[in-house]
Amino acid sequence: MVAVAAVCSMAQAKILRVNNTTGSGAPYTKVDDALTAAEVGDTIMMDGSNDSYGNITINKKVVLMGPGYWRSENGVSGQGESDATLGTITINAAAQGTVLRGLNMEFIKINASNVVVNRCHVEKDVTVQAGVSTVADNCIIHQNFIGGYVRGYSNNSYANFTQITNNIFSYPGGPLVDNINQGYIAYNTFASARQLDRDINVGSHISGCTVEKNICVGGEYSIEGNVFKDNYFSGNVFSSIYNTNAYSFDGTDLTIKNKQLSDEDAAAIAGKGAFNGDDPYVISGIPAGPVIQDVTVPASVEQGNNLNITIKLGVQK
């Protein structure tokens, strides 16, 4: 406990716990109340709950962290543990540098620069630079399961220097990534298809982007003014790799990883997709960070002596 407190002190930040379950005993039951109490750089830990925490708007730099998603489905934790679920998260300009981790939400609207979305389950869309008058540069969308798309606001308002890496996309429409300028789009798995054989993965409104090491559904293509290299294209509208259909995604991220491939398909996707690269997709979205691996407490001590407790800490990758 002393070690954990020291880490928090060195970071000069507090951890505020939120749980909206009746009788939980958490200091906060609403995320908005925790945001009001938080100072710049604080971490808000959201417990899993059967009830949604609703829509929130963030106006200061914080870390908003949940327990991950699909844990029981992937054998990571016991049955019955819920996600920290939200509706729409809106991140405004004053909250630049905000980090979202381990959450399950419907939409993310990013109106600030240097925002990180990591190991989250996004039911629908991530809008980077959610309006013509906003600026959302240098944002990172990394290791997420995304049911919709990641796009800048419009064809006339691109998001600059966006990193979109090691995500799994399951939306049966397209394009899934678009309106990005000078971005890096790599190691993504586009695990869905639609009925028409089009460039559903990366749209035509990107400029100066590098698109590499992705697994894509559909025919091969390139867009002038961008670099496309070492991507895999299945060559038909139904993915031969992940067994998806035009309107639904079949299975969890564990199903994707453990799908049995032919030798030919395995060779074709080697080194590509969400489970590859220097920092690959992590099953169940459990956030990285220090965890208590073991605690040793003596059965008894003599009166007047110290109670020596040994805590073994590890870092979850």
Q: In which band, very low, low, confident or very high, does the pLDDT at 315 lie, cut at 50, 70 and 90?
A: low
At residue 58, φ and ψ (nearest 5 deg) are -105, 125
Q: How far apart are CA 199 and CA 83, in angstroms?
A: 33
What pLDDT score does 78 carry? 59
- pLDDT over 90, % of the chain: 48
**Residues paired with residue 60 on neighbouring β-strands, in sequence order:** none
Does a structural domain hold residue 272?
yes
Domain count, the chain: 1
What pLDDT score does 236 carry? 56
Does a structural domain hold residue 58?
yes
Q: 247 is written with which tokens?
A: 């309107």
Query: Which CATH number characterizes residue 198's domain?
Result: 2.160.20
Indicate the length of the chain as a whole number: 317
Q: Considering only CA atoms, which of 6, 10, 53 is closest in space to residue 34?
A: 53
Q: In which band, very low, low, confident or very high, does the pLDDT at 10 lie, cut at 50, 70 and 90?
A: very low
Does a structural domain hold residue 264?
yes
Cα dihedral 252/255/258/261 (nearest 10): -130
Does a structural domain hold residue 315?
no
State pLDDT tens for residues 45-88: 999 999 999 999 999 999 999 999 988 877 776 555 789 999 99
Neighbours of 171 (CB within 10 A): 19
Does a structural domain hold residue 305?
no
Does a structural domain hold residue 314?
no
Q: Which domain holds residue 275?
A: 2-291
Q: 75 is written with which tokens?
A: 């054998």
pLDDT at 133 over 60: yes
What pLDDT score does 308 carry? 85
State how far Cα 157 lies from the chain centre.
24
For the segment 165-183, the average pLDDT, to the nearest whole number, is 86
Q: Considering only CA atoms, which of 125, 126, 124, 131 is closest in space to residue 115?
A: 126
What pLDDT score does 242 carry? 61
pLDDT at 248 over 70: no
3-state secondary structure at position 146? strand
Residue 143's contacts (CB-CB under 8 Å, 6 or more residues apart) are: 118, 119, 165, 166, 167, 274, 279, 280, 281, 282, 285
Alpha-carbon distance values, 314 to 11, 42, 63, 289, 292 (Å)? 18, 22, 20, 8, 6
Does a structural domain hold residue 128?
yes
For the segment 253-282, the average pLDDT, to the nearest whole number, is 85
**Residue 148 near residue 127 (C-beta atoms within 8 A):** no
Q: 263 is written with which tokens?
A: 């030798």
pTM: predicted TM-score of the whole model, two decimal places: 0.85
Does a structural domain hold residue 202?
yes
Task: Write down the residue that tokens 């419907």 correspond to.
Answer: 106
Q: In which band, very low, low, confident or very high, does the pLDDT at 290 lie, cut at 50, 70 and 90?
A: low
